[in-house]
Structure 1
């Protein structure tokens, strides 16, 4: 028997990274998300619950992997596709491992059969459960299994060990995958310039001490054009915010991706340091309550949220604030405004206001919603400031990581331009697999 790796997606996309490592009848799959490209989004199939999995297969949104989907959800005519073998007819022992809870890495786990175990770190599992409570779960609930960092999980003759890395979400991990004849590392999404660089440095020191046959490394930041300007370090967001807010004599607004718990905390600190009251949307308030200690904030009550069960629970502990309350003295507040609730700005006095956009949706000019957001802000004369910090390692840090680990074979992915990743060591072997390729590593000894 020999270890094989099959690449189902993510080789030239941001997200949708899915790879299958097989040894005999044992198999692990990581991750199971969706490619993020709002400009190319075709249709939303989630309303068609009875045919959801088959629809996603027809659209090419999920891979036609044998033995991971239930027979009942594959019922129907596949027409242009070859329907994969259902899990009930598969001889594989299979498990799925999720590196972190961004949708491009886990957004399709609702298509998996309930018979397929789904592993994620304990931090990711806590967040997964909390997101379901606030209405941000997937189309159907899937049970998940929590993992502790550096605790090995055995799937037949394949073991998977999660290691903590820093990314812009709690629970992020890299996977060390070991089979009888191969040692493979999937970096996951990581960075060295974030709130907790020690996580990634600790992982790197550990991996550099091992003989790694294959390293799958993310390359999100490699691109030929100039990317949108981003704040260099996580701490710069707080510094920039406390510099900008006092210059405005009106309402402070901020837009974040609330799965980034550290970023919620940053804006709570920003409010305190600028003598403004932080006001969170109900779902974000729930996450702050669950994951932050002694967080102080108030809750924004709009027509869509003020009667929700979660709001009722939170209001036993936190004060609720309406648009009318804020309009009495807008300069006293720092108010969260997510893009899907941007219509709430129509209820607010926006004279002298500022909108701090910090990695919230829409993520950039590639999203058609980005121009819509700017058009509305311009309409009301709202000052716009981008306070972005990437969740992905800088180019030089990716090259540093590769040079430290010195794998037998490097495979760049999670990148639109993997060919731009040029290792510092000219002797480093690099392989660019094709989508749907089943690859057997040429197991050369890793460099000393």
Structure 2
């Protein structure tokens, strides 16, 4: 079969990107998360799709790609490919392959939510740090595991898939460990999928090197995310707050606080968690975790993270405690009681994830009084500063709020700069609400429709 590329979704939404590149008998699908369709917000925590019937529901609402070679037959049941094509995709025809592999650029829900539905016949590629983070997410109970054959790759590592597909993983920078781009060669055509990326993170050098290297590859296409692209940001010049500024801001808050401190950061960003464990200890405080957060961190850290290799923080157990009532089995941390915390508030930082916000009532209205608490919020859920529920709790107890979101995505100017640096023949912007606004200079843009397939030989003839 001739080399083709099919764009199923994620074309004008933030997340849910599903792109299939195939040649001969083999194909690779990336990414593998889920997002509501472009015009409907159908799901929330009360209305959701779960195992085992969830795969059928995702397929019939076009939130999972109609690539049946990916899926566990047990979850498909008697649902046929023809059912999905005729009833969900209005009879559209797509390339079909004997073998289909998958790639996940990083372990954020909008890029990996559908992993539990993959079958054991599927080779699933991701950065080896992403494997550790995913295993931590599964161990914590936050998400389900996968039956797929998970293959962790290092930066720059390559794989041949069948006779006519070749891939290379390239590490980038995002607000999570293991974020990577994928260079796919199909029938002689070279296509780079960026995943999510930014130029204000701790590994900016990876991003600069990636796009400089791609200029020498003479790429046919770059498929890039455009999350931050909207009319009001088109001429933004200043980069968002840099990742490496956060530990200093956190330290500043701790040094100025006399009472209890709260911390809300996304635990999947394990390198940031490592920084905050260190600062917490250096400031003479102990970090208190719930079991799920502790399991995620401990599992990812002990399995191995390339940028934390040999870091003493991996052996640090004395600076961490589990909150009372949390099961300590399988974890190297002692527990601490509510009574101990509320009578020695200046000695603790409470890692308070959003669903457990009501614990604040016990922590604020018992024990030591009269000294305000502080809440440090940096990209933990809720992702933005204005959540009404969170602020209702903070305001009621007089807790002082410190918001320091860094955002995981490049500003439009930086996307334009990198596209011009890499200089492909074509740019396909997606993973954003307004990809059509991307300035690519003289490089043509491809704005595919849902389910559109392109013959790569014809596209680049």
| Coarse TM-score class (shorter-chain normalised) | 0.7 to 0.9
Query: Alpha carbons of 1:243 and 1:219: their partners in 2 closer, same or farther (altered >3 Å)?
Result: same
TM-score (norm 2): 0.85
Give the structure 2 partner of residue 264 of structure 1.
Answer: 273
Query: Cα 1:151–1:231, aligned 2, differ >3 Å: closer, same or farther?
Result: closer
After superposition, what is the alpha-carbon deviation per residue over 1:251-277, rounded to whole angstroms, capped at 9, x for unaligned? Answer: 110101101011102222332343322
Please say if residues 288 and 323 of structure 2, whose CA atoms lie closer than 8 Å, have aligned partners that are also in contact: no
- Following superposition of structure 1 onto structure 2, how do residues 233-244 of structure 1 map, counting pairs within 5 Å? 233-244=242-253
Give the SS at the match of 1:144: strand
Answer whether contact 1:254 1:334 (CA < 8 A) is retained. yes
Q: CA deviation at 1:139?
A: 6.4
Aligned partners of 1:160 and 1:175 also within 8 Å: yes
- Residue by residue over 1:104-158, the C-alpha shift from the partner in whole angstroms, topping out at 9 and shown as x without a partner, is 1111011222222212122111222232222223265544122232222112211
In structure 2, what is the equivalent of residue 363 of structure 1?
383
Question: Taking structure 1 as reference, are residues 230 and 335 closer, same or farther at Cα in structure 2, changes over 3 Å only?
Answer: farther
* Residues 34 and 62 in structure 1, CA contact (< 8 A), matched pair in contact too: yes
1:166 pairs with 2:150: no
Partner of 1:348, secondary structure, is: helix
**In the alignment, structure 1 residue 372 sits paired with structure 2 residue 392:** no
CA pair 276-231 structure 1, distance change in 2 beyond 3 A: farther
Aligned counterpart, 2:63: 61
- 1:294 equivalent among 305, 312, 319: 312
Structure 2 residue aligned with 1:74: 76
Aligned residues: 426
Gaps of 5+ in 2: 302-307, 366-370
1:344/1:127 CA distance change after superposition, 3 Å:
same
Aligned equivalents of 1:289, 1:433: Cα separation in 2: 42
Q: Does 1:121 align with 2:127?
A: yes
The separation in 1 between residues aligned to 2:384 and 2:195, in whole angstroms, is: 22
Counterpart-to-counterpart distance in 1, 2:335 and 2:201: 32
Deviation at 1:363, TM superposition (A): 1.3
Output the aligned Cα RMSD. 2.8
| Alpha-carbon contact 2:233-2:411 (below 8 Å) kept | no
* Offset, 1:12: 0.6
Aligned partners of 1:207 and 1:299: how far apart in 2? 46
Question: How many angstroms apart in 1 are the aligned matches of 2:275 and 2:339?
Answer: 26
After superposition, the Cα gap between the structure-2 partners of 1:39 and 1:54, relative to the gap in structure 1 and judged at 3 Å, is closer
Task: Kindly indicate whether the alpha-carbon contact (under 8 Å) linking 2:121 and 2:149 is maintained by their aligned counterparts in 1.
Answer: no
- Residue of structure 1 in register with 2:10 after alignment: 10
Once structures 1 and 2 are overlaid, which stretch shifts more, 62-71 or 125-134?
62-71
Structure 2 CA distance for aligned equivalents of residues 421 and 398 of structure 1: 8
1:153 to 152, 159, 172: 159
Offset of residue 328 of structure 1:
1.0
- Structure 1: 5+ residue stretches without partners: none
Tell me, yes or no, if the aligned pair for 2:105 and 2:179 is still in contact at 8 Å: yes
